[in-house]
Amino acid sequence: MEFPEIVKQMEAAFPEAAVSVDETACCLLIVPERWPAVAEHLKTDPGTAFDVLMCLTGYDRGPGELLGVAYNLYSMEHAHKLEIRIETPRDDSVIPSVAHLWRTADWHEREAYDMFGITFDGHPDLRRMLLPDDWEGYPLRKDYQTPDFYHGIPIPKDKRGWE
């Protein structure tokens, strides 16, 4: 199935879930509340059959803007792809987890939590993965400030004379 057909089928099944459709990027922006139902449908419905979650990426649109997560889905049976994006406000960013549907999402969601601070509701083990457990802050946000010390080890800010 091509992208427009997938969109048409999705809109028929979940009329109020889609927020916007981007033709050039072939992605669908949906609301977080309907995400578990939509994900379940995309995986189990024989017409779409998206059984592989290729990648889950967090992104930040800018300081003061929304935080988002992009899901890249692929179907082995039909060999078609889809991208789903979900955007949330910065302060209270909660997205339902899909780790129970696609196992790939388990560690990718942990990375998105570690780097952006996006909480995934229903995730079996949401804790920091790449950074130390007692790190403060979410580094890949656009308004992140590097701390000066970490347990006594300095993180130099003044780089004059380093090059």
Q: Which residues bind another protein (CB under 8 A)?
A: 130-132, 139, 144, 146-147, 150-151, 153-156, 159, 162
Q: Judged by CB, which is closer to another protein: 92, or 134?
A: 134
- CB 109, min distance to another protein, A: 20
- Return left, alpha or beta for 2; rule: phi > 0 is left, psi -120 to 50 is alpha, else beta: beta
Alpha carbon distances (Å) from 35 to 12, 41, 42, 82, 97: 15, 10, 10, 14, 9
Q: Which residues pair with 52 in a beta bridge?
A: 74
Residue number, 64 or 157, with CB nearest to another protein: 157
Q: Which is nearer to another protein, 92 or 151 (CB)?
A: 151
- Which parts of 2-159 fold into alpha helices (H)? 3-13, 35-44, 105-116
Q: How far is the CB of 136 from another protein (least distance, A)?
A: 11
| CB closer to another protein, 62 vs 154 | 154
- Find the distance separating the first CA and the last CA of the chain, reported in whole Å: 53
Reference 135, options 118, 122, 151, 124; nearest CA is 151
Beta strand pairing status for 67-74 and 119-121? unpaired
Give me the least distance between CB of 63 and another protein, in Å please: 17
Report in angstroms how near the CB of residue 92 gets to another protein at its nearest. 24
> Measured from the CB atom, is 51 or 111 closer to another protein?
111
- Shortest Å distance, C-beta 58 to another protein: 17
